[in-house]
Structure 1
Amino acid sequence: MDSVTAVAAREWISRFAEVIDQRAAELTELDRQAGDGDYGTNLRSALRRTRTNLAAGTEESAQAAFTAIANAFLHTGGTSGPLFGVWFREFAKAAHTELTATVLADAAQSAVDIVRRLGKAEVGHKTMVDAMVPAATALRASAEAGADAPAALAAAAAAAHAGADGTADQLALRGRASYVGEHARGVVDPGARTVALFFDAARPDVLVGA
């Protein structure tokens, strides 16, 4: 499979929702240590809306699948919900055409540019951007090397996890974790981890027991 088909896009988003269900408690605990502890609840709420949007949709295109998750997050509370919404929206915009590695790389770059502008966050600020930027960079490098979409997404997942892991040593400069200073040192940013889990979910073997 050189590109992400409509069926694969729906499966990817469905797997992401399942993974978040499995790991919501972990993400909530990360947020409790560095924020207000409502992150996992908001995330699961957004993905319940995603499932509803997918089920209600009459179109089964990749664009419709990404629009379903984008709209769900845009209508979710918390600081990160709208930012994830605009991030997913860029993938939806790109999905009007075949989702090759190059198209995914373009979408990821546009998406992270918008999140950085709206959230005023950069790499090193201990936010979702710390995973989004390396994922976009890995997608671009993979596409330029001639990789197909699955290989490029696997590279993005690895880069996003490395970026998320790196947030543990950072002092937060943006987001709720910035309010608690050194107290959040040693804690992985839950938004960055979520980005990594999203790219993980592009793999069919991601679920426990799969």
Structure 2
Amino acid sequence: MFGTAETRAWIDTFIGAVRDRGDELTELDRRAGDGDYGTNLRSAVERAAANLAADAPGTPGAVFGAVANAFLHTGGTSGPLFGMWFREFAKTVGAEVSSDVLATAADRAQAAVRRLGNAEVGHKTMVDAMVPAATALTAAAARGDDVRVALAAAATAAHEGAASTEDLLAKRGRASYVGEHARGVVDPGALTVAWFFDAAA
């Protein structure tokens, strides 16, 4: 299981990845959207870092809660959607994080984003990585895999889902406004989901 320290390390690693590689996301969004995704995401993770530093969370759920609040107060469309995604993790995760708990949290989280964003797999959005990651976690939990093995499977599935967006024609989000110009570009939101699971695995 993951405790508070392991969950905090997971989030700190994710924050570091966005700080270091945010320009990649900005470039993807520049090619398929309005170019502000990377900037907004960096703002969100800086808020998350500030929240975690200001009030050290005592449980894994509280760690996710601090991240959720940061994203919910970030501009753009993706910020609030990620905020709702993280909020489902915060609501589901308790004092310890097991494979079963993660599977439940990820499934509830992807369902919330699909409902609020009116997006499905194949629409070229973050959902294309969220759904396969949740499916992989559910399968890992059913096998009795430990947390790290389960998260590694989720990371692999999320990367495969993100890669699948490259050849899609967007049906939701800013990329849907530019039509064929977005084909050949990986969705930055889906790639962010993959980075998130990478940070744990």
TM range (shorter): over 0.9
Equivalent residue, structure 2, for 1:4: 2
Aligned residues: 201
Give the CA deviation at 1:97. Answer: 4.1
Look up the equivalent residue of 2:101 and give its one-letter code.
V
Give the CA deviation at 1:58. Answer: 4.3
Give the CA deviation at 1:60. Answer: 2.7
Equivalent residue, structure 1, for 2:28: 30
Structure 1 Cα separation of the partners of residues 57 and 181 of structure 2: 47
1:153 to 151, 155, 167: 151
Structure 2 Cα separation of the partners of residues 151 and 24 of structure 1: 27
1:114-153 → structure 2 map (5 Å cutoff): 114-153=112-151
Structure 2 Cα separation of the partners of residues 140 and 64 of structure 1: 23
Q: Contact 2:7 / 2:60 at 8 angstroms: preserved in 1?
A: yes
1:85-96 → structure 2 map (5 Å cutoff): 85-96=83-94
Cα displacement string for residues 7-34 of structure 1 (whole angstroms, at most 9, x for unaligned residues): 0000000000000111101000000000
Moved over 6 A (4+): none
Equivalent residue, structure 1, for 2:106: 108
Equivalent residue, structure 1, for 2:77: 79
Q: Secondary structure at the match of 2:96?
A: coil
What TM-score do the two structures reach when normalised by structure 2?
0.98
Look up the equivalent residue of 2:186 and give its one-letter code.
V
1:164 to 137, 162, 165: 162
Q: Secondary structure at the match of 1:201?
A: helix
Q: Give identity over the alignment, percent.
A: 66
Look up the equivalent residue of 1:189 and give its one-letter code.
D
Q: Contact 1:57 / 1:64 at 8 angstroms: preserved in 2?
A: no
Q: Contact 1:105 / 1:140 at 8 angstroms: preserved in 2?
A: yes
Question: Is 1:20 paired with 2:18?
Answer: yes
Q: Contact 2:3 / 2:95 at 8 angstroms: preserved in 1?
A: no
Look up the equivalent residue of 2:45 and give its one-letter code.
L
Look up the equivalent residue of 1:166 and give its one-letter code.
S
Give the CA deviation at 1:59. Answer: 3.3
The root-mean-square deviation of aligned C-alpha atoms, in Å, is 0.8
What TM-score do the two structures reach when normalised by structure 1?
0.94
Q: Secondary structure at the match of 1:187?
A: coil
Look up the equivalent residue of 1:126 and give its one-letter code.
K
Q: Point out where structure 1 has 5 or more consecutive residues left out of the alignment.
A: 204-210
Question: Is 1:189 paired with 2:187?
Answer: yes
Q: Point out where structure 2 has 5 or more consecutive residues left out of the alignment.
A: none
Q: Contact 1:127 / 1:189 at 8 angstroms: preserved in 2?
A: yes
Structure 2 Cα separation of the partners of residues 171 and 59 of structure 1: 41
Q: Contact 1:131 / 1:192 at 8 angstroms: preserved in 2?
A: yes
Q: Contact 2:32 / 2:185 at 8 angstroms: preserved in 1?
A: yes
Cα displacement string for residues 120-174 of structure 1 (whole angstroms, at most 9, x for unaligned residues): 0000000000000000000000110110111000000000000000000100000
